[in-house]
Amino acid sequence: MKLRVLAVANPWFDSNFFSASSIIFAGSFVVNVLNYLFTLLMSHLLGIEAFGEVAAMISLLTIVSVPSTALAMLMTREVAFRGATDGGDVRNLFLFLRKHVLLAALGFWILFLAVTPLLSRFLHIPYTLFLVFSILLPFSAASALQSGTLQGLQEFFALSKQNILGALIKLTIAILLVFAGFSVLGVIVALVCAQGAAWLFGFLVTRSALNLKERTPLQAVDSRPLQLFFSVTLLTTLLLALLSNTDLLLAKHFLPSALAGEYGALSTLGNIIIYGVGAFTTVLLPMVSAAKARGEGGERRILRLSLSVIAGAALSAWALFSLFPTVFVSLLFGARYLPIAPTLGHYAIADGCIALSIALINYFVAVRNTSFLYLLGLGIALEVGLIYFNHASIATIAVMFIISSTLLLGLMSANYFLTQRIRIA
């Protein structure tokens, strides 16, 4: 299902934006339900300490998947831009990058295996779990090339089906293996199986969408602009991954195992905001890229729509988490995790700020504005510094996270308005 961006008279409404968002939102809703069923069941079946290990490794996966995320963003922007301007062959670009991605993924896998002993000691997690965990890396890179292509083509329905398939397989296999007594190892194996299934689905869909069965000679591809954009995107996604996961990893390092497990539950609940509005961020990047390519100024309207919806959703989540924290904690994690309830409303502030910052960052990437990188790096350094020197309890770490994320949103907003003024001048 391919959706194209149309200009509309009303600057606060874009039917195509909401049509595309509705597809992603519906898919994301199903994925989020499956993921939170996964979280709910694992938190009950594994116990607090083992669940803390799972939460830490999932956060680590976000960080080590940074090259894959950057690759997906590269493909999204390039495919959307080329499709809007007829400036290149998407199929040729895909095949050119595929062979390079496979070689790079193999090298990164070997590098990760070399540092796993250090990660095991830092996070207090058995080394053997990291060996199985490492299998995710090559699958992640191959899947990113496919998902970025589908997102750039605005094949949002296929993209949603890919995500749902992965979440469903993860949930099913994790339940079976944990009940069979494999504990955390069973969860990691489920993650690997889910990633493999998502790759297979993406392979079949992209082969059809790009007609990869056809044997035609590859044309030369100028890789220099791709390398430059990938470098910028790699740094961006690394900083974003650190922004969203550093607090949990530092909590796992500094806090006792039981408290680290509770913090993992708090982080998971707070992330409902980020994942809940992810549909609008997913739509934002290709639509802004295409609008920028046409030069009609529609990219700012799309950003305003995204920020308005995200802000409304974040405020709603904050109100619900503040008014009924014990209900949400009990419903999703059980009475054992009730000590985190007083902190939940405050933590939602941090994730709301991060969700808005991510939308702004995706906008900057789409319009090829790299000025935000220094400010994002400053925000990460502030978060690490605040938590490193203030980590006595769950509440203390959460407060440091709130301070750093609020300041980051201020920096991203200031960067937007400053660059707009410079552009106009």
pLDDT in tens, 13-69: 455 555 655 776 677 778 878 887 898 889 889 888 888 899 889 888 888 888 888
The per-residue pLDDT for 5 is 38
Q: What pLDDT is recorded for position 37?
A: 87
Give the pLDDT of residue 240: 80
pLDDT at 1: 41
pLDDT in tens, 218-266: 666 667 778 887 888 888 888 888 888 889 999 989 999 889 989 989 9
Backbone angles phi, psi at 218, to 5 degrees: -75, 140
Q: DSSP class of residue 9?
A: S
CA distance 201 to 190: 17
Provide the pLDDT for residue 320: 94
Q: Identify residue 349 by its one-letter amino acid code.
A: I
How many other C-beta atoms lie within 10 A of the C-beta of residue 203?
15
DSSP-derived letter for residue 217 is P
Distances (CA, A) of 175 to 39, 123, 169: 11, 24, 10
In the predicted model, residues of the chain with pLDDT beneath 70 are 1-21, 24-25, 83-88, 212-222, 296-297, 421-425
pLDDT at 332: 81
Q: Whose CA is closest to 124, among 53, 222, 69, 182?
A: 53
Residue 6 is predicted with a pLDDT of 38
Single out the residue of 288, 238, 227, 242 nearest to residue 416, CA to CA: 288
Cα(360)–Cα(409) distance, rounded to whole angstroms? 9
- pLDDT computed for residue 214 by the predictor: 67
3-state DSSP helix/strand/coil % of the chain, to nearest 5: 85, 0, 15
Rounded Cα distance between 180 and 410, Å, is 48
Separation of alpha carbons 313 and 400, rounded Å: 23
